[in-house]
Amino acid sequence: MGPRIENTPQDFEASLCLPTASAPAPAPTNGNCSSSTEAQHLGLVGIMFVAQTLLGVGGVPIQPFGISYIDDFAHNSNSPLYLGILFAVTMMGPGLAFGLGSLMLRLYVDINRMPEGGISLTIKDPRWVGAWWLGFLIAAGTVALAAIPYFFFPKEMPKEKHELQFRRKVLAVTDSPARKGKDSPTEQRPGESTKKQDGPVQIAPNLTVIQFIKVFPKVLLQNLRHPTFLLVVLSQVCLSSMAAGMATFLPKFLERQFFITASYANLLIGCLSFPSIIMGIVVGGVLVKRLHLGPVGCSVLCLLGMLLCLFFSLPLFFIGCPSHQIAGITHQPGAQPGLELFPGCMEACSCQSDGFNPVCDPSARVEYITPCHAGCSSRVVQDALDKSQVFYTNCSCVAGDNSVLAGSCDSTCSHLVVPFLLLVSLGSALACLTHTPSFLLILRGVKKEDKTLAVGIQFMFLRILAWMPSPVIHGSAIDTTCVHWALSCGHRAVCRYYNNDLLRNRFIGLQFFYKIGSMICFALVLAVLRQQTKEARTKESRSIPGLEQQLLVSEPGKKSEDSRV
């Protein structure tokens, strides 16, 4: 079908170039800037904070308590694999959430209040807002269903069969000298021995809240004095800061950097990034189990994973799309800032300063904020079989046929988003190789009675030092690359256009900074563990001659018996 001139409604008419006398009066905005409206917005933000707090409280039985739970009741050789499976399954949630978000963002935000004739916006329109809230309802119902099996768990979990046999053998060997010696201190004062074995975990059920608060600082300082614990937690803080920034702003970064839709960006992240993260976590647990890695081996694996992650992150600085040329905002090199392509072409127009309805001149690849800024005075709809295309004609600021196409200009390098995200996924998988080994460094490095509290302290630091400030830091860095802000009630509301080169360098540079910090911490962990191993061997070599002589004189057959056990 041929083109037709539409009767333009009030919103379209406000975007056109009309003389001042015939221009429609701008809609009043004082109602949206009243104190009651701002208080209502703050109330909604408060509800979101309460919901996130309850979500964090509900996740405590899985992480951190579930980590210590698995390590206590599983066999030592199976614990790395079980922890890797736990972490991998935990990461399946965000991956599915990104896929669900991709579907929800294809629906308009006011899905329950759609007009009869629908809306004229498409998913590619920068003014499109998807139904972000619908995913929260679906996820909340799923979480409620997943919590039901917890009611059927026993009060005490049975230990694995192999773990019980192993501990019985160890107890049989360690108790045999005590049974032979009648004057040993443990037999004379068994009550004192039991008391020494009790730690915060054993006596925790009998502690009141006030008593636990008194015990907690002591355990906290004791763990912070442990160099391995402190360095591993700092490395995980760096990794969590990187993950928090990626999870929060990677969809927005891909959307702005490669000019793709928010739905497509979420779909790519859910299909590429999170499966690679899950694979990296599982492979890390399998390597620890198969190679029987000790503390030094775990630290070497963590350091190697971070080195490879840094290597594959370097090309990300050079993969991206240049910024579009926006009339009056961004210009080609050598052009004078602040001037339109045709000076004085829109002097007769009464364009709204806060309007945003982008149009594109395909021939010159120049984008205008509104049709009014392009000097367009009429709107034409080109009907097609599958969809209609909107043009704005009689544009005084456009050369050639004096027409522009509705919507932002397409990018010629949007295909680079796939190799970019593949490199991001590969780097994430290599970084996640460190997940299970780093947790084992903490579980094996602290006292057994302090294990649960140590993991709790670790998660406390991750929340306070990583997951809370990292999104703020990344958001502030992204805001510094904005070149055009939309105003609301006299304040900056949302960024319309970014400097893509600055956006890429600062976002990827911040990620690179956290990766370097994590690598340095793992290198220090390796140095500390090697020093401790060297000191232990030196001490052992000094005490071996006297010990061997004592064993040969007192019990000649004990050495062979112990070696068999």
What's the pLDDT tens digit per position in 24-48? Answer: 555 454 446 666 666 777 888 888 8
Residue 152 maps to a domain? no
Q: Single out the residue in 376, 406, 436 at which a domain terminates.
A: 406
Number of Cβ atoms within 10 Å of the Cβ of 170 = 11
Q: What is the pLDDT of residue 386?
A: 63
Residue 363 pLDDT grade (very low, low, confident, very high; cuts 50, 70, 90): confident
Q: Report d(CA 12, CA 34) in Å as an integer.
A: 27
Q: Tell me the C-alpha distance between 63 and 494, whole Å.
A: 35
Which residue did the predictor score with more confidence, 130 or 518? 518
Q: Is the pLDDT of residue 321 over 60?
A: yes
User: 64: cis peptide before it, omega within 30°?
Assistant: yes
Q: 427 and 525, same structural domain?
A: yes
- SS3 sequence, 120-147? CCCCCCCCCCECHHHHHHHHHHHHHHHC
Position 456 scores a pLDDT of 78
At 70, is the pLDDT very low, low, confident or very high (cuts 50, 70, 90)?
confident
Q: Are 489 and 446 members of one domain?
A: yes
Q: Residue 448: its pLDDT value, please?
A: 73
Shared domain for 367 and 468, answered yes or no, is no
Same domain, 364 and 484: no
In a domain? residue 497 = yes
Return the pLDDT at 379.
85
Is residue 38 situated within a structural domain? Answer: no
Which distant-in-sequence residues (6+ apart) come within 8 Å of 346 by Cβ? 17, 340, 372, 373, 374, 375, 396, 397
| pLDDT at res. 425 | 93
Residues 266 and 370 in one domain: no
Same domain membership, residue 428 and residue 315 = yes
Per-residue pLDDT tens digits for 137-196 = 888 888 888 888 878 877 776 665 555 555 555 455 445 444 444 444 444 444 444 443
Winning range, highest mean pLDDT, from 206-210, 263-267, 422-426: 422-426
- Give the mean pLDDT of 445-473: 83
CATH number at residue 438: 1.20.1250.20
pLDDT for res 419: 94
480 & 430 share domain: yes
Please report the pLDDT score of residue 16 as a whole number: 81
Q: Determine the pLDDT at residue 184.
A: 42
Q: For residue 218, which amino acid is it?
A: K
pLDDT digits (tens, 9 = 90+) for 364-418: 888 888 888 888 888 888 776 566 778 888 888 887 777 888 888 888 888 999 9
pLDDT of residue 119: 64
Beta bridge partners of 4: 381
DSSP 29-68: -TGGGSHHHHHHHHHHHHHHHHHHHHHHHHTTTTTTHHHH
CA distances from 485 to 354, 474, 493, 498, 500 (A): 9, 18, 7, 9, 15
Q: Place 506 in a pLDDT band, splitting at 50, 70 and 90.
A: very high
Query: How far apart, in whole angstroms, are the C-alpha atoms of residue 324 and residue 335?
Result: 15
Through-space distance between the first and last CA atoms of the chain, rounded to whole angstroms: 88
pLDDT score of 304: 95
Q: Mean pLDDT check: name the lowest of 49-63, 235-249, 268-282, 478-492.
A: 49-63
Sign of CA dihedral 69, 74, 80, 83: negative
Domain match, 529 and 432 both: yes
What is the pTM (predicted TM-score) of this model?
Answer: 0.73
Asked whether residue 214 falls in the same domain as residue 317, the answer is yes
| Same-domain pairing of 227 and 370 | no
Weakest mean pLDDT among 75-89, 414-428, 522-536: 75-89
The percent of residues in the chain predicted with pLDDT above 70, rounded, is: 72
Would you say residue 523 lies in a domain? yes
Residue 401 maps to a domain:
yes
pLDDT at 509 over 80: yes
- Alpha-carbon dihedral sign for residues 102, 105, 111, 117: negative
For residues 220 and 344, the model is more confident at 220
pLDDT, residue 315, reads: 94
Helix count (H) and strand count (E) of the chain?
20, 9
**What pLDDT, on the 0 to 100 scale, is given for residue 333?**
43
- 513-517 contacts: CB < 8 A, separation 24 or more? 514/238, 514/239, 514/241, 514/242, 514/245, 515/238, 515/242, 515/306, 515/309, 515/310, 515/313, 515/431, 516/310, 517/234, 517/235, 517/238
The answer on 398 and 451 residing in a single domain is: no
Residues 533-559 have a mean pLDDT of 62
**Nearest-angstrom CA–CA distance, 310 and 303:** 11
Position 542 confidence tier, pLDDT thresholds 50, 70, 90 = confident
Number of domains in the chain: 2
Q: Is residue 250, in this structure, part of any structural domain at all?
A: yes
**224 and 274 share one domain:** yes
Domain that holds residue 286: 209-322+414-533
Q: Is residue 482 part of a domain?
A: yes
What mean pLDDT comes out for the span 15-30? 58
- Give me the chain's average pLDDT, please: 76
Mean pLDDT of 262-287: 88
d(CA 335, CA 65): 61
143 belongs to a structural domain: no
